[in-house]
Structure 1
Amino acid sequence: MKGDNVDRGSRQYNSQTERAYRTLKRSIMENELVPAAFYLERELAELLGMSRTPVREAARRLEAEGFVEIRPRHGITVLPISPEDMTEIYALLSELEPMAAELAAARGLSDEQLTRISGCVEVMDKALEEDNLDAWADADHDFHQLLVSYSGNKRLIWVISTFWDQVYRARKVTLRMREKPIASNREHRNLVQAIRNRDPEKAREIHKKHRDRAAETLVQLIAKHGLQAL
């Protein structure tokens, strides 16, 4: 009986920690928690309607992922994303995602997979026609996730996914600062065609240029505006 109570308490604690982690991470990624601002552990616990212990554990996970820095007196600071951060992250993505595209083209996709990834491009085209940049960004995110998952390389998928959350936060705040992403849609269509043709070299080349261009644009915008001020 006592053991059952301990197990229930442990499950509840783990559940609260997971909820704190997911809620705080979403707030950081959506820039609801302001970069460079200091948040007391107590006020975050009150905001989430829970005790400070799961918030503290969630903050440790977020610090390990590079989202926050834990400060003395049990508070956290949301870390801004610098041009240097994005340069380093995109240097990796610009090599790893083209590799994923190459692998997807080499192994070949099923009709269902081709339909799904082509569907993302169609949604992006429609979103731009309607000037709905949020819908475009969601479909673009789905496109890249599918592309990497279709590589079939589990370790590659894991490594790339560790950088996406940081990139998402930066792309979210710069979404309306850049030109309408017509070129991105065109590159996505060309990439899908290369994969359909089972042309690994072409797929890698197209996606490498796409990622390099995206990196240059994003880094320039962050350097110009500064994510701390956004």
Structure 2
Amino acid sequence: MNTAVMDGGVRRSQTRRAYDELKRRILDNELPPGTQALEQQAAEWLGMSRTPVREALIRLAQEGMVEVRPRHGMRVLPIAIADLRDIYDLLAGLEATAVDIIARRGLQPQENAELDRLLADMTEALALDDRTVWAEGDARFHRRLVEMSGNQRLIVMVETIREQSHRARMATLQLRPKPTTSNDDHAAVVAALRRRDAEAATRLIRTHRLRAARLLIDLLEHHGLNHL
């Protein structure tokens, strides 16, 4: 194989690894809003050269997660409340479309079993008061609901939007009340799907998402996390 082609492949692989790892740290608030770092410092975090890190930062800047400043490196951008409202409005509508599709065609036996497992996992996490495990289960529940719709365009749209809300959810995870209401909402949505009650399922998931948005925004504003 041509050496230049091989080098290009390695470079793309390194850039992708830098992008994935920096993005994960930002979304999980390991690099909270306001964090600043020079390219060299970010490269040292990742154990790689500056070039793939620079390219990864440019991509993250295009996605609105960081600001890249010449000779000053990067700064993780704050969480924008206005953006969060838009994101949850979209999530509420798109997930309502997904559950409407599921309710009208009916759940398959394996889907019923999987939803039972997901509900049980979240219940167990709350019993142990493990917010991190609960949040992971909550994300899986919402992701699988959309995937069960079978609408590939819808799946891609929701995943892109949901990713943008993840950082705010993780920032407020330990600040919010114990999310028993969320678990109750999930169980109610599943019950409506099993009845094939599309109207109830769409109303419940929409209400659930909009209630979550209000809680999230109130917590961010109260604790000043949107101004970090």
Place the TM-score, normalised by the shorter chain, in its bin. Answer: over 0.9
The 1:13–1:122 alpha-carbon spacing in structure 2 relative to 1, beyond 3 Å, is: same
Moved more, 22-31 or 157-166: 157-166
Moved more, 82-91 or 214-223: 82-91
Q: Which residue of 1 aligns with 2:160?
A: 162
Distance across 1 between alignment mates of 2:121 and 2:21: 28
Do residues 89 (structure 1) and 87 (structure 2) align? yes
Q: Which amino acid aligns with 2:131?
A: L
* Deviation by residue 1:14-48 (Cα, 9 ceiling, x = unmatched): 11011101110111112111312221112111221
Where does 1:88-107 land on structure 2 (aligned, <5 Å)?
A: 88-107=86-105
Quote the offset at 1:74 in angstroms: 6.0
TM-score (norm 1): 0.94
> Which residue of 101, 107, 110 maps to 1:109?
107
Contact 1:82/1:226 (CA < 8 Å) preserved in 2?
no
* Deviation by residue 1:135-175 (Cα, 9 ceiling, x = unmatched): 11111010000011111111111111112222111111211
- Structure 1 unaligned spans of 5+: none
Quote the offset at 1:64 in angstroms: 2.1
Moved more, 15-24 or 173-182: 173-182
Distance across 2 between alignment mates of 1:223 and 1:82: 10
Where does 1:191-206 land on structure 2 (aligned, <5 Å)?
A: 191-206=189-204
Moved more, 108-117 or 182-191: 108-117
Q: Which residue of 2 aligns with 1:209?
A: 207
Contact 1:83/1:220 (CA < 8 Å) preserved in 2?
no
Q: Which amino acid aligns with 1:185?
A: N
Q: Which amino acid aligns with 1:213?
A: R
* Deviation by residue 1:77-117 (Cα, 9 ceiling, x = unmatched): 11111222211211211211111111121222211112112
Question: 1:172 aligns to what SS in structure 2?
Answer: helix
Moved more, 37-46 or 122-131: 37-46
TM-score (norm 2): 0.94
Distance across 2 between alignment mates of 1:183 and 1:34: 27
Contact 2:81/2:226 (CA < 8 Å) preserved in 1?
no
Percent identity for Structure 1 against Structure 2? 46
> Which residue of 216, 219, 225 maps to 1:218?
216
- Structure 2 unaligned spans of 5+: none
Distance across 1 between alignment mates of 2:14 and 2:72: 18
Distance across 1 between alignment mates of 2:222 and 2:80: 11
Q: Which residue of 1 aligns with 2:61?
A: 63
CA-atom RMSD in angstroms? 1.5
Q: Which amino acid aligns with 1:95?
A: G
Question: 1:77 aligns to what SS in structure 2?
Answer: strand
The 1:126–1:206 alpha-carbon spacing in structure 2 relative to 1, beyond 3 Å, is: same
Distance across 1 between alignment mates of 2:44 and 2:123: 42
Distance across 2 between alignment mates of 1:198 and 1:176: 35
Contact 2:220/2:226 (CA < 8 Å) preserved in 1?
no
Quote the offset at 1:209 in angstroms: 0.8
